[in-house]
Structure 1
Amino acid sequence: MHFSSRILVLFFTAMVAGNSYGQQKAVPYYPSKQEIREAYIRQNKVDSIFRSIPLNVNISPNWQQDGSFWYVKRLPRNTQEYDYVNGADKTKKLAFDHKRLAESIQAVTGKSQDAEKLNISKMFFSADKSTVSFKTSNTWLQCNLKTFKCNLTTDTAFKRYDNNKPLQVHHSRWEEVGRDSVSPDHHWVAFGKGGNLFVKNAESKKEVQITADGSLDKPYGEFCWSPDSKNVIGFLIDPKKTKEVYYVLSSVPGTTRGQLKSREYMQPGDDMTSFTPYIFSIADKKSIKINTEKIDFFGAPELHWRKGSNRYFTYEKVDRGHQRFRVIEVDVLNGNTRNIIDEKTNTFIYEQRIYTRYLPETHEIVWITEKDGWRHIYIVNDITGAQKLVTKGNWVVRDMDSVDTKKREIWFTASGMNAGEDPYFIHSYRIGFDGSNIVNLTPAQGNHRVVYSPDRKYYLDTYSQVNVPPVTELRLTANGAPVLTVEQTDIHALQAAGVKLPEIFVAKARDGKTDIWGVIYRPSNFDPSRSYPIIENIYAGPQDSFTPKNFSPVNEMQSIAELGFIVVEMDGMGTANRSKAFHDVCWKNLQDAGFPDRILWMKAMAQKYPQADTTRVGVYGTSAGGQNAAGAVLFHPEFYKAAVSACGCQDNRIDKQWWNEQWMGYPVGPQYEQQSNITNAYKLKGDLLLIVGEADENVPPESTYRLADALIKSNKNFDFLTVPGMGHSDGGPYGRRKKRDFFVRHLLQVEPPARELGEH
């Protein structure tokens, strides 16, 4: 061969093996029994290799009082070291001499110690760093770091800092509100008796009856005092008993009978306890019914009194059906009300992401809403109701960290602000109340996780992409300036082991404009001349987005890919963390599940990569993903040929009330039945495996049993696995094994190897 021709051949071969994988015609991959046996062995080896390679993708700092911290670093051979970082002098070093400390621990405790596997769970350094107190197993020791003389000691007085807890915790409307029965002036105690409100003089113990029309069936309760101790705010309660669901534990050891279990469980449309608010005057025993509707969704609300006033308070009301949210002001003198915030929508307000923080000193409310089409921050004057937009643009505020009332700054996370990168990547910011001086604390491209020091002087910024290894940097909070790089993940060992990193892929949605972002996993022995079945990992629950954004070289998707599949995941329309319009696709329409976008995405992938075989497409999912997976072969059998549905919400009337009414609407309408997988079971084409744990307390197992019943009555062939004693799950190790075997059997058309291989 001529030299130049050889160069061209080598160049072409490199192109085929590269990211493009070439555009040559691919031959469908159908492995022999021996090939699939080898694939199972290779899959198990890849999983084992990954578990043995230390990547240190998520550094967990143990902060000290001065802002320094230590952390545990994983090393090869399942060993570890303890590193110490000091931001003040920009240094990182070993926290101590591991060998000498191991010897000292052994001398004091009499227990053998491995210097590379020290078991230290808590550790605190003295101010001058000359001594360290730490807990190993259940023993506390104090050690001089110069002499390494150690002594038994007691638990340290230092408080351990929770890295995952935001500076200011948002009170969930589902949480019970704490109420004090004692009046602010400590003269009275409010309590219920016989369904009525009584108050008792704290000194004389004399009881005074305030109401007389309450009963045990409909009592007054949830009492709260006004700041001047002159009035009690309470509610006339109309209790509704929550209905029960049941399951049977069939295989309890030591028994010969199944055990019936029951628990309270609200389903869509069930009656809820309601609360009618009243104002009770202690002096004249008069009551005023507050001029507003009863509260028939959530419990009695938390009250927010206007600073310096005994006359006005506000409370929040989310209407059942999730289409109206209000902050309502009450005038205690007459019971009249007015709306400080009144948001209405034709689709839904995502209740779980409503954020309100009350600033009584300045009569302001920090409020996050999607009312302009994107999730943004507003400042609301709680006297005038005037609203001021703080953040704006075609991007999404993801979460709130804190509000600094002195500097008038808001600390938050957001995604989609940076042009040219994945719109789901999370970054941390702070901004002035007036929308000025926005600071991006995480400028690098990638998905960020920020952990602040207790004094907020420093923060750790860890960022990565699904196929780009993490970097962890220590930075100054004041200006975001870097202090030092703490860790930079080395993946050479991973690559040497043959692990193939996933690829990020973007294609247009059904509207031809919106980008749909997803990931592609291929087998490590990927052959560009072959075409492989596609398997989609699906979860289209509207409460979030689900495609991995952090470094994720090996997970279940890669593990399944090793058997001879291209495994993908993407977020279609109807999921969260994009625009309101993107999210609204799910409204009364969970059957949609983004399938039009998902199918177009996979077809676009196959257009670019002919190794993706769109004639052999499988799908699997758990919970809402189980509903989606079964829906794929019911509503889109022309594309999806095989599905594994685990503990799926197969009918939204059977699942939990709060989740399903949020997306499918209230009252329960015809869309619930029309979109039910059970109602549409007769449409099944292709292959389906149903998996359910008999003790599922999240989605009642009868959801899956009823789908099985409907399939049987429609004379449909399907596979069914019930796992005794298991709760809400994909079936555990056994269920995951059956899932892989199912796809091998139906998409690769070869019988999986016998289990005597022992690698499962």
Structure 2
Amino acid sequence: MRVALLLAAGIFVTCPGLHAQSSLKAWQPDGAEIAKRYAGAKYMDSAVKVGILNRTVQPNWIKDGTAFWYKKSLKDSAVEYVYIDAVKGRRKTITKEEAAALPFDSVAAPPRNRWRGRRSAYEEAAPDSSYSAFLRNGNLFLKKINGTEADIALTSDGSNEQPYGAFSWSPDSRYLVAYRIKPVKDSSVYYVLTSQTGTTRGQLRSQEYKQPGDPFTSYEMFLFEAATRKQVKVNTDIIDFGYPSALQWRGNKHFLFERTDRGHQRFRVIEVNVETARTRNVIEEQTPTFIYEQRIVTRYLYDNNSILWVSEKDGWRRMYMVDVVTGSCKPVNQGQWVVREVDSVDEKKKEIWFRASGMDATEDPYHIHYYRIGMDGKNLLSLTPEDGTHQMSFSKDKRFYIDNWSRVNTAPVTVLRRTADGKKIMDLEQADISGLLATGLRLPEIFHAKGRDGVTDIWGIVCRPSNFDSTVKYPVIENIYAGPQDSFVPKSFMAYSEMQSMAELGFIVVQMDGMGTANRSKAFHDMCWHNLADAGFPDRIAWIKALAAKYPYVDDSRVGLYGTSAGGQNAMGGLLFHPEFYSAAVAACGCHDNRVDKQWWNEQWMGYPIGKHYEEQSNVTNAAKLKGNLLLIVGEADTNVPPESTYRVADALIKANKTFDFLPVPGMGHSDGGPYGRAKKRDFFVKHLLGVDPPDRNK
């Protein structure tokens, strides 16, 4: 009743389900206005290059680790040198000469991830330098390193076509592990360079390229005892997917290796007893959907006879301590949050240093924070408490650390903290973005709304024009990339972007991470399984509708989307599968048919063997469903997604008598089409969402 009275009185109100925003008129500029918008976007692209002062601090630690100096940027390209006493928390300005005279020590490099794979070796010496193992005509031989004895043949059934290889000695040099290998040569994909200088002929290029369903080289594991020349086949299946993992020796009698079965639904850490050639599973994970192979983390802790293992097996990406002897598996952490990375493990102190997101339910669940925790799950310490996404660097002895944090619309802040308890010692710098803001730039807004289930929050960002007018309705353009390998919405400070540049033309440009992407719960991620065509569209559409419900100037009746690679597949998919919502799309270098694209990526999410769902979800198969306006862009020299992926979908569109625009870019690799492609993308949305012709560049 109250709402009705307010409307009768001419008072504007908004509330859920009430479309009072319909009173706003759609913004439809004329040619002169759009020309000004192009000029304004070009100006902004240049003006924002003023830069940000002191976005971060690059410390130069002195050798005893108690102090450091850094160079601070001032206006008008001036600099000053700042000396920080980390123990006392004091700062002072010094000269360049004083800084150079300090006993400098570089910060220790972060530990690298363990090397998971190993290719064939052709010769490898035993640890005690007694023998060297080598290949001859595909067979395995031993030779005395300091002797004149004849070479010893360990095998006779190998050949150059099917050799032995990938050697590994036991620590006591008693045993040698090797594989009998049946190589598979990958088939090739091709492209033609049409515009090479110095020739009038197109140049054919090719590369070996494994597509879904293609066979793999196989590896059969054998044990050899150097003294007796005894050969025994290890009691394990032939490895017919990927490469053999690096072996992890536990003493001299046991080693462990890892394998993921093809189809990505089973992962094992297998222990081999070299005296019996028998095996047992120390870790075995199976799932009805997928195990994200590239994010399996195993840290072998030799002093503790244990493995630190990171897995999503219980619904969230968590850490577990696995006892190698007993096989017991105990969680290190609990809760509905995600371990993002294990940075280091201190076996002596039994501490794990890691990154995680989502632990604080009051902030963006994608923000990355740093933590320390005991292997027993006790004494969890937050090292980076501020609401934002963080980057850390330690002093060499790890007594102190520098933390740089920001949000997409919050300028970076750099602080110095004490490692022992995480206590803040002092603020170092806050980035100066005054020059950036003086251009009139609008920083993006962080926005979240419920997804398809009405429960789960979907997070994204919103970019508006600098000369934004809330009394008109602007069309929406979505920047889409729904690849399940990660999440993609920026979380650290975003000074400027193509999204903002496009917004200057008179659009609301948005980006969000829908279900099926990573870094949330396993259930959130599982939406992609055998289902890449879904691309989180129900969540994305709900998000944009919620944005329009909150802001009357958001016109959810005029929505376009653009993307590259998997995003190109998604962009076209929006028109094929959701034409009631999306009306224009620019798809660059899209993997429009998952059977045409690379094996390792597509089988990870679409599964193996190659089922009917591959065909059913293909943009090529569904091309005849096209509604709305489509621009396809492809680089003729794309070595990531074969160019024929786009040509096949173009062929299907032609056969279905569909209207679309097509831009092949000579010599271009895997990209959005480069500067020309990006210009055509803008023109395309101006024409089809704003209803006005873009400037004629031929005049």
Settle same-fold status: TM greater than 0.5: yes
Q: 1:161 and 1:243, CA in 2 relative to 1: closer, same or farther beyond 3 A?
A: farther
Matched, 1:608 2:550: yes
Residues 628/411 of structure 1: CA separation in 2 closer, same or farther (3 Å cut): same
Which amino acid in 2 is paired with 1:183?
A: A
Cα deviations by residue, 1:175-204 (Å, 9 ceiling, x for unpaired): 658897111221101011122111001122
Which residue number corresponds to residue 90 of structure 1?
89
Cα distance in 2 for partners of 1:499, 1:212 equals 72
Are residues 74 and 176 of structure 1, via their aligned partners in 2, closer, same or farther at CA, if it must alter by over 3 Å?
farther
The corresponding residue for 1:219 is: 163
Q: Is the 8 A contact 2:478 2:562 kept in 1?
A: yes
* Cα contact 1:53–1:76 (8 A) shared by 2: no
The residue type equivalent to 2:350 in the other structure is: R
Shift of 1:490: 3.0
Partner of 1:132: none
- 1:64-463 equivalence runs, <5 A: 64-67=62-65, 68-77=67-76, 80-96=79-95, 125-127=101-103, 160-161=106-107, 166=110, 168-174=111-117, 176=119, 181-205=124-148, 206-306=150-250, 309-463=251-405
When structure 1 is superposed on structure 2, of 266-275 and 213-222 the one drifting more is 213-222
Is the CA contact (8 Å cut-off) linking 1:211 and 1:285 kept in structure 2? no
Asked if the contact 2:118/2:246 (under 8 Å) is kept, the reply is no
- C-alpha deviation, 1:494, in angstroms: 3.0
| 1:187–1:668 CA distance, 2 compared to 1 (3 A) | same
Following superposition, the deviation at residue 297 of structure 1 comes to 1.6
Q: Any conservation in 2 of the 1:365–1:379 contact (CA below 8 Å)?
A: yes
User: SS at 1:534's partner residue?
Assistant: strand
Residues matched between the structures, number: 683
Q: Is the 8 A contact 1:505 1:517 kept in 2?
A: yes
C-alpha separation in 2, matches of 1:636 and 1:497? 38
Is 1:739 the counterpart of 2:681? The answer is yes
Q: SS at 1:423's partner residue?
A: coil
Give the alignment partner of residue 592 of structure 1, picking from 534, 537, 557.
534
Alpha-carbon distance between aligned partners in 2 of 1:755 and 1:55, rounded to the nearest angstrom: 37
Rounded to whole Å, the distance in 2 between the matches of 1:124 and 1:241 is 55
Segments of structure 1 that go 5 or more residues without pairing to the other structure are 1-11, 17-21, 102-122, 128-157
Q: How far apart, in 2, do the equivalents of 1:78 and 1:616 lie?
A: 44
> Do 2:508 and 2:554's aligned partners in 1 also have CA atoms closer than 8 Å?
yes
2:38 corresponds to? 40
SS at structure 1 position matched to 2:132: strand
Residue type of the partner of 2:218?
S
**CA distance in structure 2 between the partners assigned to 1:721 and 1:304 by the alignment:** 51
The aligned residue for residue 499 of structure 1 is 441
Q: What whole-Å deviation, never above 9, does each CA across 1:195-248 have from its counterpart, x for those lacking one?
A: 211100112242111111222221111111112222211101011011111111
Give me the whole-angstrom Cα distance separating, in 1, the residues matched to 2:92 and 2:690: 52
User: 2: CA distance between counterparts of 1:217 and 1:66?
Assistant: 57
SS at match of 1:625: helix
Distance 1:749 1:319, change over 3 A: same
Q: Secondary structure at the match of 2:212?
A: coil
Note if contact 2:121-2:167 (Cα within 8 Å) is conserved in structure 1. no
Give per-residue Cα distances to partners, 1:412-433, cap 9 Å, x unaligned.
0000001211111110000001
Task: Indicate yes or no: 2:24 matched with 1:26.
Answer: yes
Equivalent-residue separation in structure 2 for 1:390 and 1:672 (angstroms): 38
In structure 2, C-alpha distance between the alignment counterparts of 1:278 and 1:649, rounded to whole Å: 40
Q: CA deviation at 1:454?
A: 2.2
Q: Summarize the alignment of residues 501-540 of structure 1 with structure 2, pairs less than 5 Å apart.
A: 501-540=443-482
Match 2:407 to one of 453, 456, 465: 465
Q: Give the conservation status (yes or no) of the 8 Å contact 1:23–1:608.
A: no
Distance 1:56 1:742, change over 3 A: farther
Alignment partner of 1:670 is 2:612: yes
Three-state SS of the structure 1 residue aligned to 2:304 is coil
Shift of the alpha carbon at 1:643?
0.4
Cross-structure match for 1:679: 621
Identity score, percent:
58
Out of 618-627 and 176-185, give the one that drifted further: 176-185
**C-alpha distance in 2, partners of 1:78/1:618?**
41
CA RMSD of aligned residues (A): 2.2
**Corresponding residue SS for 1:361:** helix
The aligned residue for residue 6 of structure 2 is none
User: SS in structure 2 opposite 1:619?
Assistant: strand
How does 1:52-63 map onto structure 2 within 5 Å? Answer: 52-63=50-61
8 A Cα contact 2:247 2:255, kept in partner: yes
Give distance in 2, aligned partners of 1:180 and 1:461.
46
How many Å separate the matches in 2 of 1:663 and 1:180?
A: 37
Deviations 1:8-62 (A, max 9, x none): xxxx99x99xxxxx95831100001111111111112222221114243343434
Equivalent position amino acid for 2:554 in 1: A
The structural deviation recorded for 1:70 is 4.2
| SS of aligned partner of 1:38 | helix
5+ residue gaps, structure 2: 1-10, 15-19
Distance 2:672 2:49 in 1: 21
CA separation in 1, counterparts of 2:94 and 2:214? Answer: 58
The 3 A distance-change label for structure 1 pair 28 and 370 is same
1:132-166 CA deviation, whole Å, 9 max, x = no partner?
Answer: xxxxxxxxxxxxxxxxxxxxxxxxxx77547xx53
Secondary structure at the counterpart of residue 755 of structure 1: coil
Alpha-carbon distance change, 287 to 159 in structure 1, aligned in 2, over 3 angstroms: farther
| CA 1:44–1:456: 2 relative to 1, 3 Å | same
Q: Distance between the aligned counterparts of 2:413 and 2:123, measured in 1?
A: 48
* Structure 1, 352-361 or 461-470: larger mean CA deviation: 461-470
Counterpart CA distance in 2 for 1:743 and 1:474 is 46
Please, which moves more after superposition, 397-406 or 277-286? 277-286
Query: Which one is further off, 223-232 or 427-436?
Result: 223-232
Is 1:173–1:298's contact at 8 Å kept on the other side of the alignment? no
TM-score (norm 2): 0.94
Distance 1:702 1:95, change over 3 A: farther
Task: Indicate if the aligned counterparts of 1:24 and 1:529 stay in contact, CA closer than 8 A.
Answer: no
Distance in 1, Cα, partners of 2:21 & 2:436: 28
| SS of equivalent residue, structure 1 residue 37 | helix
Aligned mates of 1:73, 1:613 — CA distance in 2 = 44
Question: Normalization by structure 1: what TM-score?
Answer: 0.86
Structure 2 residue aligned with 1:155: none
Distance 1:71 1:560, change over 3 A: farther
Deviation at 1:274, TM superposition (A): 0.6
Is the CA contact 2:530–2:606 (under 8 Å) kept in the aligned structure 1? yes
1:755 Cα deviation from its structure 2 partner: 3.1
In structure 2, relative to structure 1, the CA distance for the partners of 1:94 and 1:718 (3 Å cut) is farther
SS of equivalent to 2:303: coil
Tell me, yes or no, if the aligned pair for 1:54 and 1:76 is still in contact at 8 Å: no
1:316-363 CA-to-partner distances (Å, cap 9, x unmatched) read 111111101100011111211100000000000000110000011110
In structure 2, the CA distance between the partners of 1:710 and 1:161, relative to structure 1 (3 Å rule), is farther
